[in-house]
Structure 1
């Protein structure tokens, strides 16, 4: 029997967030068993395993219903939150092995005693799409250039490539109804793992709204996507939409799904040069399950 705890990650005012099944001791699970958990719940799922080297505290693996993923931001945050809540962390800084590379988690209990979690992401790389690739994306989303800000469509990556589409307003953003089959084909052509259209909500407060249409996760849309939000932060920096400092950037996601979520990103700099970012958000426990795998 395997205990799975369902958490909601990147909640906003106690609601919304991305549901995520977490197994805090997955040492007895095979790859098939892990995928079965993701298929049972229909969500990205996280699994905590012993580290394979002395340089790390844990190894995390991540599955969606159709395949394993190298990295999942909200599952990492959810797993660390659960470990902290259960008193299983040895300190406030945790080193994690993932298939996309090392991740550092920071856990701060603050005055409330409730764990607050941030995880590291590497410096983002942002590349403008070619004209034909832009037209491909616009066609799939049933948009024209008039619907966009005077900014390029870009592929951006910290852990996985996401395609950033700068829309003029959140109303049009939340009216998009793309076809998953077309999304998958388009992402394959442009080398992306998901389309991430976004709009400026309040530039002075560095608040933005976005939606995530994944390439092939087994569901058409995510309520909150940390890795996409981290990639977006570097796109916003590249396009001059956020200040060159470490003030919080807030990305709201999931409104069109009725699951408004809040993702927080802080860019890091050294000698004026970007050195990565921290990704964080609130977590809430939904319920526990026991499955025989």
Structure 2
């Protein structure tokens, strides 16, 4: 099985968010894909299969080390990078069909890749979920919710200072917790993302979280073009746009760290 290790939302190795990408002719059993993702031990491994009678459309599935998930940005960016860079994909745009509907990735002139993703605006909660403040070891200014919880702080320093209790965060009934604050020096907002509930204690750069961050900050700042930075230890930069029709654009670079083969016995396929 061919395999690529790609650092997404990165221009140099050892930054951004590493993802595994397995291009296949057909999906193997889900249990095997889960075992591969657990063995890779990256935040996500993407599996892609070409759709018949088309050259520009693929099916995509994503697995963390513990579960299959419904939306992943950085591994989709990584999958598009593999197609464009290593597999001779000649079109300017690829469409991935997923549990979250069609997701398009376009190749820009400057080398960036742009994800066309659903917008998931958060709604403010009347009360903070039980255990949230203990899990964060901090009290946010605002708490909102979409698929993930969105917790808003005053400053970037507040977000950097978070030392979360992963067990308490995992007990919350949300996929993950996005911590965010205004940015500075040309960055509109910063974030971190914690998802121990699905096997990812802290994700380095989270494309899917920006489906919620972009509509929130676009409304807050009164602008549709935004620069973002995820301030995890690895870190990554994103170019963001809120579009009409309930969609967002999330752009970034990607770099291949490794390419090779997974030696999976034929009897498991």
Alignment of 1:187-266 (within 5 A): 188=173, 192-202=174-184, 205-238=186-219, 240=220, 242-245=221-224, 247=225, 249-255=226-232, 257=233, 259-266=234-241
CA shift, 1:93, in A, is 2.2
**Equivalent residues in 2 for 1:1-293 (5 A)?**
2-11=1-10, 16-25=15-24, 27=26, 29-43=28-42, 44-51=44-51, 57-108=57-108, 110=109, 115-133=111-129, 136-144=131-139, 148-149=140-141, 152-156=142-146, 161-186=147-172, 188=173, 192-202=174-184, 205-238=186-219, 240=220, 242-245=221-224, 247=225, 249-255=226-232, 257=233, 259-269=234-244, 275-293=246-264
Q: For residues 166 and 219 of structure 1, what CA distance do their matches in structure 2 show?
A: 21
State TM-score, norm by structure 2: 0.88
What is the CA-CA distance between 1:194 and the residue it aligns to? 0.6
Alpha carbons 1:212, 1:225 under 8 Å: kept: yes
Q: How far is 1:116 from its partner? A: 2.4
Give the structure 1 partner of residue 267 of structure 2: none
Root-mean-square deviation over aligned CA pairs: 2.3
The number of equivalent residue pairs is: 263
Q: Is the 8 A contact 2:177 2:193 kept in 1?
A: yes
Deviation at 1:17, TM superposition (A): 0.5
Q: Write out the 4+ residue segments of structure 1 that deviate beyond 6 Å after TM superposition.
A: 52-56
Contact residue 218 and residue 242 of structure 2 kept, 8 A: no
Secondary structure of 2:240's match? strand
The CA deviation at 1:89 is: 2.3
Determine if contact 2:137/2:165 at 8 Å carries over to the other structure: no
Structure 1 residue 90: deviation in Å? 4.2
Cα distance in 2, alignment partners of residues 117 and 65 from structure 1: 25
**Structure 1 portions without partners, runs of 5+:** none
Task: Tell me whether 83-92 or 73-82 shows the greater mean CA deviation.
Answer: 83-92
